[in-house]
Structures are given as structure tokens and as C-alpha cells.
Chains A and B, each alone.
Chain A
Amino acid sequence: MTITETPKGSITVVALNGTLDASTAPELQKSPAITNASQTVVIDLEHVNFLDSSGLGALIGTLRKKRDMSAETLLSCMNDRIGQVFEITNAYRLFHIFDDTSAAVDYATQLIARR
């Protein structure tokens, strides 16, 4: 899996490409924008072709860690296959999910400004 971090003002867009599963979830957890608990991130899932329970656990772990530090984790561009995992597990209730990354960045910027 390749992870690309792109700063957009005070937000970092973390674009994932490949499979997010037990073997690649630790890579995500070690990426700088994710380890920095106070950094609000938008995780772009457009090119994630597979997500298993470990990958989902990594995303939820990130969300919990960041919320503890009053930061946010937003998700964008989820394809149908990944969306189905969020649907059956009810994990969609935890995240703000956008169909466009720039909209997610704008929303996150507003969230930070409101705090």
C-alpha cells in the first residue's frame, strides 16, 4: 500500500492506494500525520481496493486517538466495496464521510475554525 500525505492548510490529506488489511494497517498507523494525534486528517480512500477488519480497526483507532486530542479524522471518496464494509459494521456512524476530498478539507477547516 502506498500512503501519500499532502498538507492543505491546517489539514493533511492522507491518500491511500492499495489494500488496507492486517499486513498494511501498521504502515498507516506509523505514517506521520496519523501518529501526530493533534493533526486533523482527511483519509482519501478512492484507491483502496480492499479493507478488512484490521484495516477498519486502524481507521477507528486513528479516529479515537485524534478525538482524544480534539482533532478529527474525515473520510473521502469511498468506493462501493469499501462503503459496504462501513455499512455492515455500522462504522459509518463514527465518521464524517464525503464523496469529494476538497469538500472534506473545507469541512475540516471549518470544524477547526469553530473550535
Chain B
Amino acid sequence: MKTLLAIREREYEWARQAFPSIHPLLLPLCNKPFTEFLIDFAILAGSSEIRLLSDGPLGEVKEYCETGNRWGVQLSYASMHAEDSFQDLIEKNRKFCGDDRIMIISGFSFISYDKQQGYAGSISLMPAGTCVSCPGGSISLTGDPETPSHHLPELQLKLQPLESVGSYYRISADTLENGAARYVLPGYGNEPGCAIGRNVVISKTAEIRTPVSIGNNVQILSGAVIGPGAIVGSNVIIDKESSIKNAVVLDNTYIGEHLEVNGRIASGNMLIDPRSGASIAMEDPHLLAGIRASGKPGKVARNAVHAVAAAILISLQLIPFLLLFPLLKLQGRWRSGTKTCLADIAGNSITLPTAEITGTGLAASLAAAISLDRLPLLTRVMTGQLAIIGSAPIIASGQTTGIPAGNPGYRPAVFGYAEAEEWPVNGSDAAIVERFYTVHSTPVKDIGMTIKALLNKLYEKNAA
């Protein structure tokens, strides 16, 4: 048997909003990413090949799960459309499915299984159709069983929808409660209800109360009380005299001194109440903060190259600017202003100067052709606020949250990659080429692309 895991973006959108730093399919449920529970169940059900399908990005999931070697199965990935039916999914993956029986696990829901049960035998006897379902999720089978049976076995499992922060908290707590008896959970413990990961430093005066689950690379400082009912992720520091009870502390979080986290979810600097879903961002980094990975070393080199290129461009544009700007200003063809744009993927904003050259005439055409309207932005490259080439700055609005335009490499710039490429430009298509280059560009390539963008503007103006 083979398994298709089909999870649509709209089903996990709430998780992206609530925990923006974690890919929803890797959201840890008691120290184990959601997708791993699905893979475990598919293996228990007798699958040797699994394909994960989504209409959303799967890059981070691929990076984490790789080819499935870790589980001894073949794991592959494919895209789907949100409106695809089961039949469409089977057609789109015809080569993968072949003539085998297919189990389709659909929806962002948690499979509450028991590893002691022999699912492979009972599922192989089930007829085609839906075996288990819950609102927004189901487990279905295609094809007939090899050996038809009149007595259908009862499947000892249930599906629980992961539809809100509240359901996430409940399921995490249940998973911790049932622990290693039902699920395959990571970590080691010398007593029931206690799982501790690698590289965990616990102060002699700290107290650990079961049930508890602690991830990898965790420091628990003196006087801290962890548990009961505490789920602590990886790369976490719990500072002195703090207590974590019936709470979830997600990866990369610092809990400050003398803090009591009871019945809450802490993620980075966010503290979330699972009952109401309300969250508060702690501004004081001594209380609650995110632990960030160090920046990429290439970023410094890129910024330096961009700054040098901007300095050269400014020096080239300065004289034409001094000659043309007063003239255009007098003619009313140079309009200045400001706009507030997203500065980074964290959703911070930046106010940028804008310049628009309107109308025709020799001075206006010349100024537009040599991109004088970008001169006010070039100074921001020198301060590192903008790149010389990258993403077209996205206007910040109240509704804009999370990763701008779904681009994790968003880097606001003076020139957009879409301007450099001869690309069939509309809003979403321009975002495609920007995403391409935010991954594939190098500082040197960026200079070439900047020259291309400048030449394209010159050519455009001449052609016009």
C-alpha cells in the first residue's frame, strides 16, 4: 500500500498566523512535528511509499523530512490545487500510485493512534471508501482489499481537527499525557511521563515534575520548576526561578527570570492564551524573547557590494540630477512624496522617499531614462535599509502580516528583479521572478542585474 498525505493551505492558515516562525506542517505536537505523526501512522498502516501533497510551500518540510530514509520509507513531494478532488490527486500522481491500494490522509487533523495496534492488518481488510473522518479531515482507501472479509475490523483510532490554537493546545497536552505508551516520541527518560532530549542542561536546584517533555539544546537554570504538563521545545532557555506548568514553550524561546507560565503557549516573544486565542507580544527581551539563529555571513558581503554599487550610481547620477531636478521641479513634472513599506519578513516597516517623473518633454524623458527617480532611494542602500536590487518594496498595510507575498527572501530594493528580466509582469508574476533571484542571486550577479534593469529602463524610454 502507498499513502498520499494531502493538506491544503487554507486548512492550516490559522497556524501560520498564530506561529509565523514555524511551518504549520512542522508544528511540534509534544516535541514532534505534526508531519512525523502522519508518517508514523502511514508506516503503522503498512505503507512503504508516502507522498506529501500540498498547495502551499513544502521547502522547509522537504528539508526536514528529506527522502524518508530516517523512517525506512520512500517519501516524495508534489503540488496540488486546493480544489483537487481525491480522483484528481490520484490522476496527478498516477505514476506514484500505479496499481497499488492508496490510503489518502486528507486535512490538517491529528491522528490519535495507538502504536500497539496492528493497523496494517485491519486496514488491508477495509473496503474502498472513507475509514475515519472528522470535520476537515479524513482517512480514505482506494481499491478493493486483496482478501475480502465479511467481518470488518474496528479501527482503533480517531481523527481530531487541528483548527485553532485551542485545539492545538489540547492535542499537545493529550499527547503528553498518553506519551510514549501510544505514540513514537523522541527523547529519553528514566521514568514514565518524562522525555528529555539531547544536550539538556538542568541546574541541580531546578525541579522537573512529570508529565514533562523537554526538547534538544535546552538550559534550565537554578530554581526553575518545569511541569507538570510542560512541553518545552528545542533551543530554549528557562531562566532562574521561573515555572512552566501545563504550558507549551515552542522552539527558540527564552523565558526570563521569575516568570510563571501557566496554561499558556510561549513562542518567541509571543505569549498566547489557548482558550481565547489572544496573544501578546512581550517587548521586554528580559521577560520573553525569541532566540534567533545568527545571520548568514554572505549578507555582509552582499550589503557591502550593494553599497559600493549605489555609491557609483549616485556619483554618476548626481550631475544630471543637479541639472534636471530644478527644471523638472519648476515645470511641476517632479513629484516627491513618501510611502511606508515592509522592511523585512518580520513585518517591520520603513518610510521611503518616492519620486515620480510625469509628462513628456526632453528633460522628463531623459531623467526617466537614466532612472533619476531612483536617486532618493539609492542613499538608503548606503545605510543598509534597502538593497540595490531585490524585491519591489511592498506597501505596508494594517492587514499585511507574516512573510510579504509569500517570499521568505523578501528584500526591498531600489530596482526589482522583475525590472531586470524581460518577464510577463503583473503583480503575482513579478513575485515569481523575485523569489527565483532571492535564492539564486549572488552579489556579483546582482550588479549585472542592476545594469540590466538600468538598460531596460533606458531602452523602454527610447522605444516609447
User: Which positions in A face B, CB cutoff 8 Å?
Assistant: 53-54, 56-57, 60-61, 64, 83, 85-93, 96-100, 102-103, 106-107
Contact = CB atoms under 8 A, between A and B. Distances in A.
Interface stretch (B92-100, B337-345, B375-383): B92-100
B95 A99 contact: yes
Most B-side CB within 10 Å, residue of A89, A97, A98:
A89
Contact of B92 (A61, A86, A90, A107): A107
Given A53-B421, A99-B78, A85 B58 contact: no
B94 A98 contact: yes
A96 B433 contact: no
B361 interface: no
A90 B432 contact: yes
Nearest to B426: A64
Interface of B: 55, 57-59, 62, 77-79, 81, 88, 91-96, 406, 417, 421-424, 429, 431-433, 435-437, 439-440
Contact of A86 (B79, B88, B421, B439): B79
Contacts of A90: 57, 406, 431-432, 435
Given A53-B433, A53-B440, A83-B77, 13 more contacts: A53-B421, A53-B436, A57-B433, A61-B424, A89-B435, A90-B431, A92-B79, A93-B55, A98-B91, A98-B94, A99-B78, A100-B95, A103-B94
Contact of B439 (A88, A92, A99): A88
Among B94, B421, B423, find the residue whose CB has the most chain A CB atoms closer than 10 A.
B94
Q: What DSSP secondary structure best describes chain A's contact surface?
A: helix
Contacts of A60: 424, 429, 432
Contacts of B79: 86-87, 92-93, 97
Contacts of B58: 87
Contact of A103 (B78, B91, B435): B91
A86 B55 CA distance: 12
B78 A97 contact: yes
Contact of B91 (A64, A83, A106): A106
A54 B440 CA distance: 13
A61 B431 CA distance: 14
Nearest to B88: A107
Contact of A99 (B93, B421, B423): B93
Contacts of A85: 436
Nearest to A102: B94
Contacts of A99: 78, 92-96
Given A60-B429, A61-B424, A88-B59, A103 B436 contact: no
A100 B96 CA distance: 9
9 contacts: A57-B424, A64-B424, A85-B436, A88-B59, A89-B435, A97-B78, A98-B93, A100-B94, A100-B95
Contacts of A53: 417, 421, 423, 433, 436-437, 440
Contacts of B423: 53, 57
* Residue of A60, A83, A93 ringed by the most chain B CB atoms within 10 A: A93
A69 to B, nearest CB: 15
B435 A96 contact: no
Contacts of A100: 94-95
A38 to B, nearest CB: 18
Contacts of A98: 91-94
